[in-house]
């Protein structure tokens, strides 16, 4: 019997990608989709690419109704909205996959600092598991609330984690440069800042959220957990004129001298058996084109003996491994399925 799944906040790019994946998932029945703006409209009126795959219409968000209709609810809502819904779903024993930022930071004080508001569901926050399978697979499998990671943290953490865990990296002085396609901004809704308009983004590259981006504490939280002490990173995001795709370049100080071959071997050992992380051989570098439309993360590492640093590189689809596809991987783990179920299609090319 298929698991009944609902998607709340399905009118953004993240929702669109999630619906595309769930509608063809062999073990899922999509039973409800919500959008305050489009309530009563057929789903395919907004997403003509899904025409013929479903007869669902958008409805307003009513947590009690979702409890009656679904066993698991995906929340693709703007931040500060999910923690109004999760307590109801938790109270009725429903599984929750939150794609917003509301449950990612374990420290409620850090949430208040970076989001400038207190968290209204501290019990749910304490219960939530950070949804990066490569680091938290066992906890995700037994979780009732999973906080799906932000796109930048996925790229940054997967690029750097093996070095920290194996002791190759010092931990201080980590500098992270992230570049995301324009769908990253509209992931939870299509009404976005004018800088993401085609006329502004095309033939342009710009930094934003400099020294203030809210994914910074998320990156620090996960990297700190790998070494058991507090780490601080310098993170700068950039907007690039791509529909989808995210590229991470991290400069990481080394704790000891290393050749590129040593570091590649470290990555291969760390990611051995991981179905969606592809460690590239020495001399090969990731590209966003090679991962678009997929849940893959391509990683590479290069030693720089001159500066005693490692250059760590990762490419993901910001709506895939950086969002909805990773959420489906978590869904598979939560229900005890093969985590590749519904995600085995290769990336789109060209």
Residues annotated as part of the active site:
151
Helix H or strand E encompassing 72 = strand 72-75
CA dist list (Å): 123 to 107, 108, 118: 12, 10, 13
Residue 124 token pair: 């749910």
SS3 state at 154: helix
DSSP structure class, residue 348: P
Environment class of residue 142 by beta-carbon count within 10 Å: exposed (0-12), middle (13-18) or buried (19+)?
Answer: exposed
Taking the C-alpha atoms of residue 108 and residue 221, their distance in angstroms, rounded to an integer, is 12
User: Could you tell me which residues come within 8 angstroms of residue 246 by beta carbon, excluding any fewer than 6 positions away?
Assistant: 151, 152, 154, 155, 178, 179, 180, 181, 184, 288, 315, 316, 317, 318, 322
Taking the C-alpha atoms of residue 154 and residue 151, their distance in angstroms, rounded to an integer, is 5
Helices (H), the chain: 13-22, 43-46, 63-69, 86-91, 108-115, 122-127, 133-141, 151-166, 198-201, 216-227, 260-270, 324-334
């Amino acid at each position: 019997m298929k698991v009944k799944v609902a998607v709340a906040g399905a009118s953004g790019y993240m929702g669109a990608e999630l619906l595309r994946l769930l509608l063809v998932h062999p073990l899922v029945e999509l039973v409800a989709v919500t959008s305050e703006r489009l309530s009563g409209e057929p789903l395919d009126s907004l997403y003509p690419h899904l025409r013929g795959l479903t007869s669902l219409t958008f409805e307003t968000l009513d947590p009690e109704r979702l409890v009656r209709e679904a066993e698991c609810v995906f929340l693709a809502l703007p931040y500060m909205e999910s923690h109004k819904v999760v307590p109801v779903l938790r109270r009725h024993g429903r599984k929750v996959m939150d794609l917003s930022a509301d449950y990612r930071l374990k420290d409620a004080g850090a949430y208040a600092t970076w989001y400038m508001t207190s968290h209204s569901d501290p019990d749910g926050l304490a219960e939530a598991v950070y949804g990066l399978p490569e680091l938290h697979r066992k906890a995700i499998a037994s979780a009732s609330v999973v906080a799906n990671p932000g796109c930048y943290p996925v790229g940054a953490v997967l690029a750097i984690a093996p070095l920290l865990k194996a002791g190759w990296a010092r931990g201080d002085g980590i500098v992270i440069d992230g570049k995301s396609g324009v769908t990253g901004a509209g992931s939870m809704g299509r009404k976005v800042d004018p800088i993401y308009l085609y006329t502004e983004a095309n033939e342009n590259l710009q930094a934003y959220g400099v020294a203030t981006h809210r994914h910074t504490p998320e990156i620090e939280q996960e990297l700190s957990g790998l070494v058991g002490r507090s780490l601080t990173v310098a993170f700068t995001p950039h907007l690039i004129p791509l529909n989808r795709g995210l590229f991470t370049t991290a400069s990481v100080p080394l704790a000891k001298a290393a050749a590129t071959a040593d570091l590649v071997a470290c990555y291969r050992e760390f990611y051995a058996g991981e179905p969606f992380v592809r460690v590239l051989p020495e001399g090969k570098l990731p590209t966003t084109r090679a991962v678009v439309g997929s849940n893959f993360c391509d990683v590479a590492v290069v030693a720089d003996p001159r500066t005693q640093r490692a250059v760590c590189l990762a490419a993901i689809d910001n709506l895939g491994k950086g969002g909805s596809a990773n959420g489906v991987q978590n869904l598979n783990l939560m229900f005890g399925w093969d985590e590749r179920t519904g995600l085995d299609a290769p990336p789109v090319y060209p």
